[in-house]
Amino acid sequence: MSVLAAIVRVALALLALRGVRWAYFAFIAAGLAYFPMHVGFHFHPRACELVFGPRLALHSLTNFPHVILFGIFFVLSAIHFRVSRQSDDGVLLSATIATLTVGALVEIAEGVTGAGNCRLRDLIPDSAGASLGAVVMMLWLMIRPAVNGHVPKSFAAWSASRRLDRDKI
């Protein structure tokens, strides 16, 4: 069953990257459905840890799976929102909101099902992943013209060329 679920999630992710809105939301739902399926739909709710200190906050940044997975989700969201014709200005903001919302929903799902630990501090590596994804997207936006054969002389020239390209659309 898990192989089939993985294939479905990959197919939904590919459709979401092409801008298919329902596939994007189905991809999120399929990811969140992992938690009830993991416990066989036998819920064992636990209270969420809402309070933490600075040491735990820093320690949570060592949760590399969260950082990497939410970085990937940020990139997927940014590409989805860009392909679905949202303005360039709103893409990173929308992807950030989506990433942090999914991070919060994952923590709630962990608390409701008892699969994993529901901790507010886990939103810190999720935020770090969103930041990492934003850096990747910004680097791609700067490198893409060079890949396409147009190399601007400065960041100001790159920024101006992007505005001109956007005005043509």
State pLDDT tens for residues 64-88: 999 999 999 999 999 998 887 766 6
Count of domains for the chain = 1
39/139 Cα distance (integer angstroms): 40
107/110 Cα distance (integer angstroms): 5
Please name the residues in contact with 27: beta carbons below 8 A apart, sequence gap of 6 or more. Answer: 9, 12, 13, 15, 16, 76
Is the residue at 146 inside a domain?
yes
The pTM score is: 0.81
pLDDT tens by residue, 29-65: 999 998 998 888 889 898 988 988 899 889 999 999 9
Treating both helix axes as pointing N-terminal to C-terminal, what angle do 88-113 and 123-147 enclose, rounded to 10 degrees?
Answer: 150
CA neighbor of 78 nearest in space, from 125, 136, 128: 136
**Segments of the chain assigned E as strands:** none
Is the residue at 77 inside a domain?
yes
Angle at 29 between CA 23 and CA 34, to 5 degrees: 130
Determine the straight-line distance between the first and last CA of the chain, rounded to whole angstroms: 45
Per-residue pLDDT, 154: 53
Mean pLDDT of the chain: 85
Is the residue at 168 inside a domain?
no
At 2, the pLDDT band (50, 70, 90 cuts) reads confident
pLDDT tens by residue, 85-102: 766 668 889 999 999 999
In this predicted structure, the answer to whether residue 167 has a pLDDT above a threshold of 70 is: no
Residue 49 has φ and ψ, to the nearest 5°, of -80, 110
Is the residue at 107 inside a domain?
yes
- Give the domain extent around 81: 2-163
Per-residue pLDDT, 15: 93
107/121 Cα distance (integer angstroms): 10
Is the residue at 169 inside a domain?
no
At 142, the pLDDT band (50, 70, 90 cuts) reads confident
